[in-house]
Structure 1
Amino acid sequence: MDIKFINRATKELVTERPPGEDILRFLYGNPVGEALVLPIAKQKFISDWYGKKMDSPSSVSRIEPFVRSLNIDMSESEKQIDEFTSFNDFFYRKLKPGARKIEDGLVSPGDGKILVFKKVSEVNSFFVKGERFTLGEFLEDEKLAEEYQDAAMVILRLAPNDYHRYHFPYQGIPSVCHEIGKDYYSVSPISLEKKFTKVFTKNKREICRLKTAGKGDMLIIPVGATMVGSLNSTFTPESPIEKGEEMGYFAFGGSTIVLLFDANSFELDSDLVENTQNQFETAVRMGEKIASE
């Protein structure tokens, strides 16, 4: 089946063609690929090995074809194609100052495709097929899961062609990140359709608690994926940050950021809720409002 999402600006349904689509369908939709190859592909050493290849100077030759094939807008980038020292240097490129407007309310922490749920329990009702998703497994902490059992949940999926730095969606004081998980399943819709629960309960991820003024504590959880060897935080824990300030970046590959927050403190935008209930992601950009205060 085709992967489709909603273009928020035009409200049009768009077909997505992820890089390596045939390989992903073999790994996540073919019994042979799933049984024999996927157990190896999800291991850390594969992502580490490929990450080192993308750090090598010779990998710069991959940049221009990648930009051209995925139609990436380089006018927003601080550096241009001939200034990068490796593919990863390009992949987690910074944007020019002012390239993104930071809007009112709760904003998207990055560029990507978003799903939103007024309550965590809705994930199973509207999206997950087969195995049930549980917050306790995702957080690997039953006490923390109980604290957020009635929270709203946002899942932002970054495709390989997206800007791969992520930012704070609201102002506050962030904690030190707590690392959990060890696997590296793909976060492509192809894999999420088959392995949603495993992706979010097995993949390497970091939990950061953002203390806000009057809006409760928000959990910000970057999730690694196939070919993403590490999650790289760039903020100073326990120091005040402003909304839109950089939090970190992902190296090569698709990735995800999950938000959990008090459902009474923010009202999710109705178009995002409706699209999710219709089982469509919505394309958003970093700094774009996703919920009102």
Structure 2
Amino acid sequence: MEPIRYFNRHSGAMETEQVYGEGFLRWSYGNPLGKISLEAFVKRPFFSKWYGRRMSTPESAARVMPFIEKYGLDPEDFGEAPESYRSFNEFFYRKLKPEARPVDAGDASVVFPADGRHLGFERASDIEGVFVKGQKFDLPSLLGDEKLAAKYADGSLVLSRLCPVDYHRFHFPAAGIPGETHTIEGPLFSVNPIALRQRLAYLWTNKRTITKLETKRFGTVICMEIGATCVGTIRQTFTPGRTVAKGAEKGYFAFGGSSTLTLFEPGKVRLEADLVENSARQIELYARIGSRMGRSA
């Protein structure tokens, strides 16, 4: 199978993704025996909880430095020294120094909610090529609400995919007042392109959480987190009903790759050109949290 390529906004170049656990992923989603294992065990929440517990033991802290070295992470960005993490999971959902992720200061801008590889579309109802041509978003299934889906069908949608090597806290794309988080239970399939090329519907069958963010300039923004294999926890750290700043922390994922999804009302946001142009070619755009995702239309 072909490698996963994306365009890095910060380096200005096409890059190849280093896939954590690539052999297991390709076996699970591409081999007949692997698919049996996937359905019987891997997709089920107990598997991810079991793996999450392994990553939370004191013994797992020995994995931290080899991981940093293998994937070229910069400890200067970390909020704590690498040796201070008491488990691999504690390192995995680490905080960063504020200066490591500056937030775009423009009043009219919205920012990426997470470090990751992003796909952006101006009209959610027109999405037909995601990882493989012909795959369409099923917005009613994604949101679990047909009326809500109709309201956002012609709005902008951004899917942000986090790899295990990424910073795993997610943030608010704009200033506003967030409501309570609603959880839709489901299995935990991988959200890596290796899996999504097989079946995009994993995005709207997996466990996911939905929060509505009321903003002055951008209307009601839907902020969604999508769980995935080996993500034992989606934890919200904000306080519902309390005003948040653009780029403020919303929560974090425990161990594993995962995704966030941001959805805007029609006519409220115009996405950045590099995001739209790459997405139209089915190429993800790598960008960090706080960099500009779009601006008011």
Q: TM-score, normalised by structure 2?
A: 0.95
1:60 alignment partner AA: A
Residues 125, 53 of structure 1: alpha-carbon distance in 2 compared, 3 angstrom cutoff:
closer
1:149 lines up with 2:150 in the alignment: no
1:246 corresponds to which of 241, 245, 249: 249
1:177 lines up with 2:181 in the alignment: yes
Deviation by residue 1:216-265 (Cα, 9 ceiling, x = unmatched): 10000011110001100000001111101100000000010000002412
Matches within 5 A, 1:101-116: 101-103=102-104, 104=106, 105-116=109-120
Counterpart Cα distance in 1 of 2:137 and 2:60: 38
2:220 corresponds to which of 217, 220, 244: 217
1:87 alignment partner AA: F
Matches within 5 A, 1:115-134: 115-125=119-129, 127-129=131-133, 132-134=136-138
Residues 280, 261 of structure 1: alpha-carbon distance in 2 compared, 3 angstrom cutoff:
same
1:267 lines up with 2:280 in the alignment: no
Identical positions, percent: 41
1:280 lines up with 2:279 in the alignment: no
Q: Could you say what secondary structure the match of 1:241 adopts?
A: coil
Q: Which residue number in structure 2 is paired with residue 202 of structure 1?
A: 205
Deviation by residue 1:134-166 (Cα, 9 ceiling, x = unmatched): 101111111111111111100000000100001
Displacement of 1:121 in angstroms is 2.1
Query: Any unmatched runs of 5+ in structure 2?
Result: none
Query: Any unmatched runs of 5+ in structure 1?
Result: none
Counterpart Cα distance in 2 of 1:285 and 1:132: 26
Residues 284, 108 of structure 1: alpha-carbon distance in 2 compared, 3 angstrom cutoff:
same
2:204 alignment partner AA: T
Q: Could you say what secondary structure the match of 1:244 adopts?
A: coil
Deviation by residue 1:166-219 (Cα, 9 ceiling, x = unmatched): 11010000010000032111111111111211x211111100000011321000
Counterpart Cα distance in 2 of 1:53 and 1:69: 20
2:166 alignment partner AA: D
Counterpart Cα distance in 1 of 2:131 and 2:98: 36
Whether contact under 8 Å (1:60, 1:86) holds in the other structure is yes
Whether contact under 8 Å (1:176, 1:208) holds in the other structure is yes
Deviation by residue 1:51-88 (Cα, 9 ceiling, x = unmatched): 11111111101111111111111111011111111111
Q: Could you say what secondary structure the match of 1:121 adopts?
A: helix
Aligned length: 292
Whether contact under 8 Å (1:63, 1:90) holds in the other structure is yes
Of 116-125 and 240-249, the range deviating more from structure 2:
116-125
Residues 188, 179 of structure 1: alpha-carbon distance in 2 compared, 3 angstrom cutoff:
same
Counterpart Cα distance in 1 of 2:74 and 2:56: 22
Whether contact under 8 Å (1:181, 1:201) holds in the other structure is no
Q: Which residue number in structure 1 is paired with residue 57 of structure 2?
A: 56
Q: CA RMSD in A?
A: 1.4
Q: TM-score, normalised by structure 1?
A: 0.96
Q: Which residue number in structure 1 is paired with residue 24 of structure 2?
A: 23
Q: Could you say what secondary structure the match of 1:243 adopts?
A: coil
Whether contact under 8 Å (2:129, 2:135) holds in the other structure is no
Whether contact under 8 Å (2:60, 2:88) holds in the other structure is yes
Whether contact under 8 Å (1:6, 1:12) holds in the other structure is yes
Matches within 5 A, 1:180-191: 180-191=184-195
1:82 alignment partner AA: E
Whether contact under 8 Å (1:118, 1:152) holds in the other structure is yes
Whether contact under 8 Å (1:165, 1:249) holds in the other structure is yes
2:111 alignment partner AA: V
